[in-house]
Amino acid sequence: MKKVVILGGGVAGTVTANNLATKMADEVRNGEVDITLITDNPYHIYEPGYLYFIFNRLREDELKRNLEELLDANVRLAIDRAVKIDTENQRVECESKSYDYDYLVIATGSRITPEEVPGLKEAGNWFYDLQGSMRLRSALTRFRGGKIVISVIGIPHKCPVAPIELTFILHDFLKKRGLREKSEIVYTYPANKIFIMEPVVEMIQPMFDERGIEYRTFFNPMEIDAKEKKIITLEGEEESFDLLIAIPPHKGAEVVIDSGLGDKGGWIPTDRYTLKVEGYENIYALGDATNIPVSKAGSVAHFQAEVVAENLVADLSGIEPTAAYNGKTFCFIETGWEEATYIRFDYSTPPKPVVPNKLLHFLKVAYNKAYWLTARGLL
């Protein structure tokens, strides 16, 4: 029997497991293949929902599903925390037991590390996990005017466009509550422009200007003075705030770092076409966990999962795998309370944003519901 272990129950792990289980249903049933998904959280989280949750537009129960309900019946689910990936002995060591593998898929995602910036945990807010989103939601409810700073601290981070979306929605949210004129919105970015992709900058920057949203570039927070409520940057600048919404620094999973499989940031060196971990013929990595220079986005994880599942089918059938990921990325960008645009690109085609409109916003809202079908592999 060939054993496939998939580590991580986010988009990348879940979609890979479901695609593989569908394609290998007969082999699993007759005992030739075993598919085990190991994850440390019994719930699958729809992280894009945090952007809506903080404005009271989605409830907590709409952000998560029991993973057991989402997985194909041919996938064995193990709720356990991996502590070491032992590539020599082809084994994943978890807190309660070890799992041998013939093929391993690492889909452990990324995590936020606010503790890396002194003062950020005390004085900052974020919407990149549930606890942070709850705290920010109540801070927004209490906000009565003043200066809000949205600060992207470090690249890469999940969903590169989420801070831009938050800024636009926040502008409309304050307007609706009669607070925009009593408020200043400042957006800061670590690079020399407000976003890494020039076509997006060309569209977004004039929209910031029209709305009176200020921005600072080359802005790298080094410390937050929680008492004085100001950000101190590496470049020697200071920016005061009444409400700080930060995108905290990100790192790869601890198990990746502890197993010596990550680079400095804990990202796994991975071939950008085959999605094989460099130096290993039987280990794939995908989603946020890799060092591939594409967006850390659910859509990327989803497209990559299709490639990994197809290549695993070839591996398990004794055929040379040939499926390749071409960099395909798709992201909606909410540009306000009721309008959106999108970008679609790959390794050879740059994005061409379209004029924002209401229909695209409603498509995104519909996708927030349809997501659960895509995670099951049904869409």
CB of 27 to ligand FAD, least distance (A): 25
- Residue closer to ligand FAD by CB (options 167, 299) is 299
> Which residue, chain included where needed, has tokens 């499989």?
261
Binding site for ligand FAD (CB under 6 A): 7-13, 38-41, 47-48, 50-51, 81-82, 107-109, 127-128, 158-159, 162, 253, 255, 287-289, 296-299, 301, 331-332
Give, in order, the Cα–Cα distances in Å from 325 to each of 18, 188, 294, 309, 319.
Answer: 18, 32, 11, 12, 18
**Residue 204: CB minimum distance to ligand FAD, A:** 15
* Distance of closest approach, residue 31 Cβ to ligand FAD, in angstroms: 26
Nearer to ligand FAD, 218 or 330 (CB): 330
Burial class (CB in 10 A: 0-12, 13-18, 19+), 161: buried
Q: Which tokens belong to 294?
A: 């594409």
User: Is the separation of the CB atoms in 183 and 167 below 8 Å?
Assistant: no
Between residues 107 and 246, which has the closer beta carbon with respect to ligand FAD? Answer: 107
SS3 label, residue 375: helix
Nearer CB in complex with ligand FAD: 51/58? 51
CB of 296 to ligand FAD, least distance (A): 5
22 burial class (0-12, 13-18, 19+ CB within 10 angstroms)? middle
**How much is the CA Rg of the chain, to the nearest whole Å?**
21
For residue 376, the minimal CB distance to ligand FAD (Å) is: 15
Closer to ligand FAD by CB, 8 or 119: give it.
8
CB 337 within 8 A of CB 57: no
Contact 140, 326 (CB under 8 A): no
* Minimum CB distance to ligand FAD, residue 320 (Å): 26
Q: Considering beta carbons, is residue 233 or 274 the nearer one to ligand FAD?
A: 274
